[in-house]
Amino acid sequence: MLKALIRTRCRAATSLLAAALLVVLYLSGEFSLTITRRDNPKDGLRPKHHLVDVREVERQTKPAINKAPHVYSWPKCERNHSAAMTRNFSSLPSHIQDFLYYRHCRHFPLLLDIPDKCGGVYGSAKVFLLLVIKSSPVNYERREVIRKTWGAERLSSGVWIRRVFISATMDTGYEEERLNHLLRMEHHKYNDILQWDFHDTFYNLTLKQMLFLEWMEKNCPNAHFLFNGDDDIFANPDKMVNYLKSLKENSGDKHLYTGAVNWYGPVREEKSKYYIPFQLQKSELFQPYCSGGGFLLSGFTASVVFRETQTTPLFPIDDAYFGMCLAKVGLGPSSLLGVYTEIEMVPGVKEAEDDLNPCFYRDIFIVHRFHPAHLFYMWHRLQEPDLNCTLADVQTQLSAIQSNISNPNPTQSSATNVAKPQVQD
């Protein structure tokens, strides 16, 4: 009886030691414990325990679609007090001072993520056109109308169009939390919002763009083309798809950066939303760039821009920053007829009594500054199968185009497709 009791205790001690060893190995990361069961739970067999070499599993290639969201663990970015040594720093507006204080900050927590938006790294090759739309948290109405009109995810001419809104945070305290909560509810319903934990301001648009490009490198690197634009525009992605598919020598693997080309310099008027002091740029000219209201670029070009952002100091004007990054490697923009920075630049609109005549918008790619109600109206009018554009409508457009061609002033000529400098909000 005594010998049996001793044997029982020895077996129990051995089992405890074995279990403790397994726990130590598991916590150390050398092995993981998995439990498998028989297909038939009635067979009476107990689960089998297997030791799996974690290092061997990590060496295997896993389907990208199963990747967990990228975890950001960057410490909070602190103010760079040396920025106050900038010449005449105290005379600069407070928002310029803040930009200089935090210009070095490039890593922020991702509050809302969509790692599976493109189907993972490998699945992203099926995304032909990714719509990337800059939107502040408060602009719910704009996002909702875009989803129901030109931003709808769909197959177009046999290829996929996908959509993502990029945003940050606004206000402080209760109001900030309320907006974040509303954005989470919206995201839960549509799964189309990327939000970072920094203030959503005009001067932080460049940061938003850079962080998106970083996200794209991790989650959607094989998308063929991107449309990058604001949330107050009218766009025609189906026309974009047809244009992009017509580029026989470029499937997204070569340079493409096209839209309304702008080569104007910085605005020196301090009261302007676009004010750039000499402390940020001495030159009176920017590198050529596409107006930020909306432009097209290839996946290749997006990757080049992201690479160059790593060594190019952030600049407050996000579209001008794109031009700066590409100029470093000898690349630049091209003009695309059918991209307009203002409604009045669309041929025929200024001369017509009705500036919302859908016949004037049939063949355009992008028009900036559209009210959500006008956007909703225009999109659905253009989808009408019996839309009838009269000869008078066509003649109005043709006469406007001819007038623009004969006008040498680029700020008034929509035919040359040059963006006017926007010096006021």
Contact 65, 118 (CB under 8 A): no
- CB neighbourhood size of 370 (10 A): 24
Contact 368, 230 (CB under 8 A): yes
As a whole number, mean pLDDT of residues 102-122 equals: 96
| Residue 115 reports pLDDT greater than 70 | yes
Least confident span in 12-16, 176-180, 201-205: 12-16
pLDDT of the residue at 398: 63
| Residue 47 reports pLDDT greater than 90 | no
DSSP states of 197-242:
EEE--GGGHHHHHHHHHHHHHHH-TT-SEEEEEESSEEE-HHHHHH
Separation of alpha carbons 5 and 261, rounded Å: 89
Q: What is the 3-state secondary structure (H, E, C) of 381-400?
A: HHCCCCCCCCHHHHHHHHHH
Note the pLDDT tens digit of each residue in 226-270.
Answer: 999 999 999 999 999 999 999 989 999 999 999 999 988 999 999
Strand pairing of 294-298 and 257-259? antiparallel
Least confident span in 64-78, 139-153, 156-170, 281-295: 64-78
| Residue 9 reports pLDDT greater than 80 | no
* Burial (0-12, 13-18, 19+ Cβ within 10 Å), 193: buried
* Length of the chain (residues): 425
Contact 303, 122 (CB under 8 A): no
pLDDT of the residue at 230: 98
The H or E element that residue 294 is part of is: strand 294-298
| Residue 203 or 405, more confident | 203
pLDDT of the residue at 48: 31
> Would you list the domain boundaries of the chain?
111-335
| Whether this model's pTM surpasses 0.85 | no
Percent of the chain with pLDDT over 90: 69
| Residue 71 reports pLDDT greater than 70 | no
pLDDT of the residue at 86: 96
Q: At what angle do helices 173-190 and 140-148 cross, to 10 degrees?
A: 10
pLDDT of the residue at 161: 98
As a whole number, mean pLDDT of residues 272-290 equals: 97
As a whole number, mean pLDDT of residues 269-290 equals: 96
Classify domain 111-335 at the CATH topology level: Spore Coat Polysaccharide Biosynthesis Protein SpsA; Chain A (3.90.550)
| Residue 10 reports pLDDT greater than 70 | no
